[in-house]
Amino acid sequence: MCLLALTALLPGLSMAALAAGDCAAGPGTARVLEVDPAGLEVGTKHFPQTLDLAEGEFVLTFDDGPSAGTTPMVLKALAAGCVRATFFLVGTRAAESPALVKRILAEGHGIGYHSQTHPMTLADLPYDKAVRDIERGIASVDRAAYGTATASPHFPFFRFPGFGSSPQLLAYVAGRNMGVFGADLWASDWEPMTPEVELELVLTRMAHAGRGIVLFHDTRLQTARMVPALLKAMKERGYRIVHVVARGVATAATPQ
Ligand SMILES: [Zn+2]
């Protein structure tokens, strides 16, 4: 409890990093960006607009987990680099690995929802069925994180599988007070490739984009193996990591 409280006061540090005592393996978390989830729709692969990021600033996001085999590898690398990310969790997987969901939270990362069964896509389902899948996903993640699911979602963000939204579903999610994340670039890590090739690909895209929300899958072994080298490369290039939270969540001790 004490360590958790301490971590909450030091947003740039995870529990593991506190234990390790340094952040040499990565660029750290440069700043926390507070957003109002109401009506938030960001990420140019899905929407016309994105987050207000400066040149060289990136938000790291990981989808489809948690996965017992690979998510701990990603968490370890993020902790070693004092990097905070956002994990968009699939409900069925959260239900299978509640301890990992709690660990993601305890290590200072953000959580968002990514539906219960990851239909491709929610927009292709009948509306009622899509809403049911969204709601079951919220309840599964909340139960995994806190033991209970209440009327309001615990977490402020949602990402549509395959970015498959409809105006009706976007209105529904907004009505549940969740902001919607798309992405600005990705590692194409659903394609099989070596960690080295994936690293090269995503660094090229980061250099080209200059800033943005980056989408990875912590369920992919090639990505889990790549993250340590990615954080090292981001540090060398002077890139800065931005951690996005809902307004009012960040403490006064925002890292500089
Ligand atoms: Zn997904």
Burial class (CB in 10 A: 0-12, 13-18, 19+), 2: exposed
Q: What is the pLDDT of residue 23?
A: 86
Q: What is the pLDDT of residue 32?
A: 97
Stretches where the chain sits below pLDDT 50 are: 1-20, 250-256
| 134-148 residue pLDDT tens | 999 999 999 999 999
- Distance in Å, CA 21 to ligand 1 centroid: 34
Token pair for residue 174?
A: 């907004």
Which DSSP helix (H) or strand (E) runs through 60? strand 57-63
Domain 2-246 has CATH 3.40.640.10: no
- Which residues, chain by chain, have CB under 5 Å from ion ligand 1? 63-64, 161
- Distance in Å, CA 178 to ligand 1 centroid: 17
Spatial separation of the C-alpha atoms in residues 241 and 244, rounded to whole Å: 10
DSSP secondary-structure letter at 224? H
| 17-37 residue pLDDT tens | 444 458 889 999 999 999 999
Query: Per-domain residue ranges for the chain?
Result: 2-246
